[in-house]
Amino acid sequence: MKTWLFLLCTLPLAGCFFSSSKTEPIEYSGLAFGSHYKVKYISGPTVTGPQALKAETEKLLNDYNNDFSAWKSDSFLSKFNNSRSTEPVAAPYLGNELMAVAGEVWLASGGAYDPTVGPLVKLWGFGPKKNPHIPSKAEIAQVKKKIGLDKFIVDPLKGTWQKTHPEVEVDVNSIAPGQAADLIGRQLEARGVTSYLIDVGGELLARGERSEGSPWMVGIERPSQTYGEALVATVPLVSGGIATSGSYRNFKDLPTGRISHTLDPRTGEQPSHRTVSVTVIAESAMAADAWATALMVLGPSVLSGESDVAKNIQRRMLKVLLLEARADGTFQEYLNPPMRELLEKK
């Protein structure tokens, strides 16, 4: 679950896309998922006009919201979550892809990423009714009984979703903006666009170049001391998705210490490390979105270890920037080799 993303592009968008080229892309923007979306693309002789592209994009986002919004009581997702039936139900066709990627990251991360974690988030008081607190061990054990993708079945041939526990809930906030960016990208390509940069709520997807020899550039913040002294780094994004997950603002200071909305679905507890932000670059925006959430749970040790999860990160060629808070209020930065190489190359 992500409530605030640490990409520079979650700030006013005028300064988000960097390039030294004089070529000016065409752009359009609007509202999506309670946040924003923005599309920049390089046009060509066979490309559909911007007004038609915007109309198609907004229809796609509206249809997606009608299916997967947790805030619309009549959406497919809300009806599925509120139902206590364990019978298969027909799901929107995009739900197959959504849960296929979610399931892949769930397995590859050893369960650190889990879109059924919603009841646990509510238990800790970070749900719609804000009341952050530390629940009892017994409460956590009870809620854990209805968490886990092993209690959820997707049948891609029949196009159905099915609960094996009646109280399982699916929260797609940690992957839906990424999927929406990927879908807009496919939509643009079907209309002849080969170079674009898409931002949906801070999750970005890029394809092609801003101009010949000039990749799309995305700004991310790399604070060396405190948040107020943040530095900005620009990252070239030629072909891939980038997402950031963070707990800078969704936390609560209690007498016993600080707690945040980042919870380990495997234990039901707060992670023992103090990771406050993770930026991931992956092949797709959807994969980047899900892995950023997973790494908030896993923390910095997984970047250099020999665990199965560490090997999975390497096999997928993920680029990772992770920030961990020190006790004195400063930050420790962790980069895996592919991200370090990217930042040093630009």
> What letters, b where the CB count within 10 A reaches 16 and e where it falls short, cover 24-61?
ebeebeeebbeebbbbbbbeeeebbeeeebbebbeebb
Supply angle C-alpha 102, 199, 302, rounded to 5. Answer: 45
Least confident residue range of 51-55, 95-99, 136-140, 225-229:
225-229
pLDDT reading at 18 higher than 50:
no
Instruction: Look at strands 319-325 and 275-282 and give their pairing.
Output: antiparallel
What's the pLDDT score for residue 346? 58
Name the average pLDDT for the chain: 85
pLDDT tens for 327-337 read 777 788 899 99
pLDDT of residue 232: 60
Query: Which CATH number among 1.10.3980.10, 3.40.50.720, 1.10.443.10, 1.10.1490.10 corresponds to the domain 66-163?
Result: 1.10.3980.10
Pick the more confident residue, 249 or 309: 309
Task: Tell me 152's DSSP state.
Answer: E
Can you tell me the mean pLDDT for 239-244?
93
Q: What is the pLDDT of residues 283-320, one digit of tens each?
A: 999 999 999 999 999 999 999 878 999 999 999 999 99
